[in-house]
Amino acid sequence: MTTTPSYKNGLDVPRIRADFPILKREVKPGVPLVYLDSAATSQKPTPVIETLDRYYREYNANIHRGIHKLAEEATAAYEEARDKIRRFVNAKSAREIIYTRNTTEAINLVALSWGRANIGKDDVIVLTEMEHHSNLVPWQMLAAEKGARLEFIPVTDGGELDLAALDRLLELKPKLVSFTHVSNVLGTINPVAEIAAKARQISAVVLVDGAQSVPHMPVDVQALGVDFYAFSGHKMCGPTGIGVLYGRQALLEAMPPHYGGGDMIKRVYLREFKPNELPYKFEAGTPAIAEAIGLGAAVDYLKSVSLAAIQAHEKEIIAYALERLEEVPGVKVYGPPAEKRGGVAAFTFDGTHPHDVAQVLDADGIAVRAGHHCAMPLHDRFDLVATARASFYLYNTTGEVDKLVEGLYKVKKLFG
């Protein structure tokens, strides 16, 4: 058996695990939870849980409208969280941080506002074969509405983007290049700055799906040179129901509002309205106040741990996981080597459906995902119906990887 490595990145994993109450759970007597599904949603640390509780217990009120003390406290906390997020991804201004429900809504906002205003018949949109459905379906819908063309950067057999093909696609002068920072199936870390720089040379707008990157590595939207960057709170230790769209201010200023209602207006007449200033132009109605404040607490928590240390820890975990999985007969892991991927390992097991793999593992308290992971075209690319996926985060250990491998040997024994 492979020797379990010691952690070299300085992350105090036992202390971190103590911050997550759910990790103390036994899924049945004597069977502790081994949570390997953070790519779907992360667990929440005590500071985030307590922040949500404090909001509802002490200053629950609507924002931007009231002048009483609770409303002022809620508004201040909500906007303070926005500025924390701005600093977290290094946006120039808090006006560039738009609250959404999740990554999906953020991408849809761009498609329905910027896209409808700027994409026309025969215009080209460049995507990739590894996209989550959230970064495919909105553009399919827009292309069908506008008569635009979708073109795709292929994925190599090794699970990386074919950047030579990108160069050929850029000759088509696309209006938009939209792609994921980190694949939620292959774990591939794409060269965002390089792709964005090439796209800028032909004046294409660049949107990046950061759902699997912002929780796991330092992200600087200015250094990356992107126009839009979308991510979700629930994958980065924050609550569900809150996400973020970063947009370059000049683009956001020019975009029409998509949702209509309260707070996104400056003045309303019977037959017309004047939209509010950024960021409120895109935040109609009562927002997810508690969730936004909770996301601010999650940002504080991740910064206290250090994104660089989290990324280094995940590099160790995924390298160990790939090594251990390779020793299990019949297991095939998809994607690039550890140095080119995040903490995601999607795999198949000869003769066993991924759902059966996940069910056997679940009997030992090991939570993995099984299915197409909202990436059907990527599975089609590798001639797969589904995969099992183990995904790792700051609270996972090499010991949990060992339990995963032990569970897979049980799968092999059961299914031959």
For 127-159, what is each residue's pLDDT tens digit?
999 999 999 999 999 999 999 999 999 999 999
- At residue 8, the pLDDT reads 57
CA atoms lying within 13 Å on the CB side of residue 301: 28
Using only the alpha carbons of the chain, give its radius of gyration. Answer: 22
pLDDT bucket at 4, cuts 50 / 70 / 90:
very low
Sign of CA dihedral 380, 386, 140, 153: negative
The band of 378, judged by pLDDT with boundaries at 50, 70 and 90, is: very high
Q: Shortest CA distance to 388 belongs to which of 405, 399, 373, 398?
A: 373
If you average pLDDT over residues 110-126, what whole number do you get? 98
Long-range contacts made by residues 383-386, C-beta under 8 angstroms, separation at least 24?
A: 384/334, 384/348, 386/353, 386/354, 386/355
H helices present in 202-334, as ranges: 221-224, 249-254, 289-305, 307-326
Terminal-to-terminal C-alpha distance of the chain: 21
What integer pLDDT is reported at residue 31 of this predicted model? 96
Write down the pLDDT at residue 66: 83
Q: In terms of DSSP H, where are the helices of 263-396? A: 289-305, 307-326, 354-363, 376-381
Number of C-alpha atoms within 13 angstroms, CB side, residue 4? Answer: 9
Half-sphere exposure of 314 (CA within 13 A, CB side): 28
DSSP state of 163: H
Instruction: Compute the CA torsion angle 99, 103, 108, 109 (nearest 10 deg).
Output: 20
Annotated catalytic residues are: 374
- List, in order of start, the domains of the chain with CATH numbers: 13-32+306-415 (3.90.1150.10), 49-304 (3.40.640.10)
Mean pLDDT, rounded, for 218-225: 98
Residue 83: its H or E element: helix 69-89
pLDDT tens track for 210-220:
999 999 999 99
CA dist., res. 4 & res. 402, Å (int): 9
3-state secondary structure of 104: helix
Instruction: Evaluate whether 225 touches 193 at the Cβ level (below 8 Å).
Output: yes
**pLDDT tens digits for range 164-176:** 999 999 999 999 9
Cα–Cα dist 204/183, whole Å: 22
Read off the pLDDT of residues 196-207 as tens digits, 9 standing for 90 and up: 999 999 999 999
Please state, in angstroms and rounded to a whole number, the distance separating the CA atoms of residues 115 and 117.
Answer: 5
Contact 44, 236 (CB under 8 A): no
Q: How confident is the model at residue 9 (pLDDT cuts 50, 70, 90)?
A: low
What DSSP character marks residue 114?
A: I
Q: Which residues pair with 344 in a beta bridge?
A: 391
Confidence of residue 264 (pLDDT cuts 50, 70, 90): confident
Distances from the Cα of 276 to the Cαs of 93, 267, 280, in angstroms? 16, 8, 6
The yes-or-no verdict on residue 3 having pLDDT over 60 is no
Mean pLDDT to the nearest integer, 75-96? 98
| Per-residue model confidence (pLDDT) at position 10 | 73
Helix (H/G/I), strand (E/B), else coil: 33: coil
Which residue type does 401 have? V
| % the chain with pLDDT above 90 | 94
CA dihedral 88, 321, 6, 311 (to 10 degrees): -10
Nearest to 154 by CA among 180, 130, 182: 130
Tens of pLDDT along 284-317? 999 999 999 999 999 999 999 999 999 999 999 9
93 C-beta neighbours (distance < 10 Å), count? 13
In the sheet that holds 124-128, the strands lie side by side as 97-100, 243-247, 228-232, 205-209, 176-180, 124-128, 149-153
Pairing status of strand 34-35 against strand 387-391:
unpaired
Q: Which amino acid is at 61?
A: A
